[in-house]
Amino acid sequence: MQTIEIKQATPQNATDAAELIFLAYHKYSYDIFGNIGQDAAIDHFKQLWIRENNRFSYQHSYVANLNGKTVGLITCYTAQSIKRLVRPTLWQLFCIGKFQFVCHLLANLNNFYYFSKTSDILPGELYIATLAVSPEHRRKGIATELLNRARQLAKNEGLTCTLHVSAENTKAIALYETTGFMKKLSISKSYYKMIDGCIHVAT
Residue 77 lies in a domain: yes
Residue 111 lies in a domain: yes
Q: Is the pLDDT of residue 202 over 90?
A: no
Least confident of 13-22, 98-107, 124-133, 142-151: 98-107
Contact by Cβ (8 Å): 192, 167: yes
We report the CATH number of the domain holding residue 145 as 3.40.630.30
The confidence score (pLDDT) of residue 113 equals: 64
Q: Is the pLDDT of residue 185 over 80?
A: no
Residue 176 lies in a domain: no
Interval 66-93: pLDDT, tens: 988 899 999 999 989 988 999 999 999 9
Contact by Cβ (8 Å): 22, 102: no
Residue 154 lies in a domain: yes
Residue 185 lies in a domain: no
Residue 88 lies in a domain: yes
Residue 191 lies in a domain: no
* Confidence band for 149, pLDDT divided at 50, 70 and 90: very high
* Confidence band for 150, pLDDT divided at 50, 70 and 90: very high
Q: Rounded to an integer, what distance in angstroms lies between the CA atom of residue 187 and that of residue 177? A: 18
The confidence score (pLDDT) of residue 115 equals: 66
Instruction: Pick 3 or 200 by higher pLDDT.
Output: 3
* Confidence band for 201, pLDDT divided at 50, 70 and 90: very low
Which residues constitute the domain of residue 98? 4-163
The confidence score (pLDDT) of residue 179 equals: 92
Residue 137 lies in a domain: yes
Instruction: Pick 142 or 105 by higher pLDDT.
Output: 142
> Based on the structure, what is the number of domains in the chain?
1
Interval 39-73: pLDDT, tens: 999 999 999 999 999 999 999 999 999 988 899 99
Cα distances (angstroms) measured from residue 137 to each of 2, 39, 161, 169: 11, 22, 24, 19
Interval 111-124: pLDDT, tens: 676 666 677 889 99
Which residues have C-beta within 8 Å of that of residue 28, sequence separation ≥ 6? none
